[in-house]
Amino acid sequence: MTYPRPPFNNPAADTIIRSSDGIDYRVRSGIVAEASPIFSDMFEIPLPDHSDVLDSQDFMDGKPVVAVQEDSVTLDRLLRLCYPTADPILPELQDVRTVLAAALKYEMEESVALMKEALLGFVDTQPLAVWATACELRLEAEAKIAARVLAGADIPIDAPPELQNVTAGAYYRLVKFHRAGGVVGEGFKFCEPDPEDVPEPKSALSRIKSITYQPRPFADIVCRSADGQDYQTHKIILSTASPLLRDRIHALAAHSSSSELPVLLLDIPGNPLGMLLEICYPVEHDLGALSIHDTLVAISCARRLDMKVPFTLLMDSATVSSAEIAEPLATYLLASRLGLSELVKEVLDFLCMDPYTYGCIPEMEFSPALPYHRLLVTRRASTAIVSEITSTLGKSRITTTRGTSDRAANAGCSGSGAAAGMPLGGDPWLRKILERTAEELQSPKQDDHQCLPDMHETLQESLDRKVWCGTCEENLRIVFQIDKLQADVSQALYDNNAKLGALHI
């Protein structure tokens, strides 16, 4: 058996605090109560009479036992901050985080102040991890200090594990803070969404078909969603669909005495809940008609409710069609959260160059920040690649050699460019298309499915404009440059997407 180190093994102590891993810390309750009003209240809870027994769940050696959720390492460090002993040495950021979280939980004012100072001790070397830790613990002041350190350079490429504990919404606000150079309003917060960042909802007319619940006779239970929608359904259907719901129905029946239908409260939004309940019934459903976004939302809810058959059916239908995804960022975040690596790879092609331009969509507030961070970092690299490619094919590179021009002139070129006194560098119409293509490929809202202009149409129009002649190879070279520009950018983006997709395998 493991015993605590002094001073928490003193038999003269009047109370025992038991860690989650079963280590008993003998403390003087007055010291701990002064440091924590929460512990003070816990010590005052009346306990059963122990006059006849020395040891039980509530007593040991005649002393009251208070059980806590913290493990022995965290509890030892926390108590040393309360006692008149040397403060614990916390070499790692994760060590500080666990003790700080416990100090906040027990409202230990002095310990919280000490741990906040220790947290900021890592801000110069691990600013992103410090920011994420502060956001997880809802410490806005410390999060802002870390964000100001990050504002001095690009957000680090390498993602600390702490990002998994904060939302993509908080990370979006970090990017907003970063792009503003730290110049934000007084009310700016990382842990709470700003209504101005939420994009306008798309018209309901643009949504793909959904599956709605169809009421059926002889219902014997009501499923109530998180937003108050009621669905009258059948216990046998729910019990067959989910062992979790079966157990909850049994527990509900044991405490129900009303003649009205029992109500099963489910922490699931109304629309996906209705869809799942409908899928539970043995009738044919066109799951392929659902949008990929709605399918993933339903999959997530089915997993939470342990609905095995609906989950399997929806997973089988979760594929990206050739049609454009209406909500690519939401789909990416949901697919990442569900671990659907193949779907993540497919969705990447539908995401624009700068995902920040989508705004802070609702799904970001319950999705982890790590996939969003990886997406932004990968797209940042893609932007640099596209910029490099387009810069080498921009205006400065559209030139022709003097020899080629002389040959065309000497040959009596009959193309429209020569007849009109075409300037060096090819036909102005083609040059304009090349320049416009370069600009569009650098647009933050560009995605891999916006491949303009269409090369067949461009070639046909060039023939209609009588651009070509036997010696106008420079014009043809520009057309090939346009085609190569798009091909190079598409290949570069594909390669970069593959790197991000590999992280989800």
Indicate which CATH number applies to the domain containing 278.
3.30.710.10
pLDDT of residue 493: 81
Contacts of 91 (CB under 8 A, 6+ apart): none
Distance CA 33, CA 254 (A): 41
Supply the range of the domain harboring residue 271: 209-372
Instruction: Name the DSSP class of 503.
Output: T
Indicate if 308 and 435 belong to the same structural domain: no
- Residues 343 and 471 both lie in one domain: no
- Say whether both 224 and 356 belong to one domain: yes
- Contact call for residues 220 and 258 (beta carbons, < 8 A): no
Distance CA 250, CA 248 (A): 5
Residue 172, in any domain of the structure: no
- The Cα 32–Cα 83 span in angstroms is 8
Q: Which residues pair with 16 in a beta bridge?
A: 26, 65
Cis before 161 (ω within 30): no
Q: How far apart are CA 424 and CA 432, in angstroms?
A: 14
153 located within any domain: no
Same domain, yes or no, for 412 and 339? Answer: no
CA distances from 412 to 304, 404, 419, 469, 474 (A): 76, 13, 9, 10, 15
Verify that 394 and 367 share a domain, yes or no: no
Residues 223 and 356 in one domain: yes
pLDDT tens over the chain, length 505 residues: 567 889 998 888 999 999 999 999 999 999 999 999 999 998 887 765 555 555 567 788 878 899 999 999 999 999 999 999 999 999 999 999 999 999 999 999 999 999 999 999 999 999 999 999 999 999 999 999 999 999 988 888 898 999 999 999 999 999 999 999 999 988 899 999 888 887 766 544 344 467 889 999 999 999 999 999 999 999 999 999 999 999 999 988 766 666 788 999 999 999 999 999 999 999 888 887 787 888 888 998 999 999 998 999 988 887 765 445 778 898 899 888 888 888 888 888 888 888 898 889 888 998 999 999 999 998 888 888 878 877 766 444 444 444 444 444 444 454 444 433 434 466 777 778 777 777 776 666 666 545 556 666 776 677 677 777 756 657 767 777 787 788 888 888 888 877 776 776 5
Among 372, 407, 430, residue at a domain's last position: 372
Q: Which of 58, 86, 114 is where one domain is finished?
A: 86
Considering the domain boundaries, does residue 57 fall inside one?
A: yes
Beta-carbon count within 10 A of 227 CB: 10
> Are 475 and 467 spatial neighbours (Cβ–Cβ below 8 Å)?
yes
Q: Verify that 248 and 215 share a domain, yes or no.
A: yes
Rounded CA-CA distance 164/367 in Å is 9
Domain count of the fold of the chain: 3
- Same structural domain for residues 329 and 401? no
Residues 391 and 327 in one domain: no
Are 424 and 490 found together in one domain?
A: yes
Element housing 230 (H / E): strand 230-233
* pLDDT number for residue 452: 55
What local confidence, expressed as pLDDT, does residue 322 receive? 45
State whether 315 and 367 are in the same domain.
Answer: yes
Residue 241 resides in a domain: yes
Closest CA to 155 of 134, 138, 178: 178
Residue 162: inside a domain: no
203: in domain: no
Looking at 56, 86, 116, the residue that finishes a domain is: 86
For the stretch 388-394, contacts whose Cβ atoms lie closer than 8 Å and that sit 24 or more positions apart, written own/partner, are: 389/485, 389/488, 389/489, 389/492, 390/438, 390/441, 390/442, 390/485, 390/489, 393/434, 393/438, 393/481, 393/484, 393/485, 394/435, 394/438
151 in a structural domain: no
CA dist., res. 434 & res. 430, Å (int): 6
* Structure token digits, residue 23: 């280590």
d(CA 501, CA 505): 7
Query: Do residues 220 and 337 share a domain?
Result: yes
Please give the pLDDT value at position 295: 87
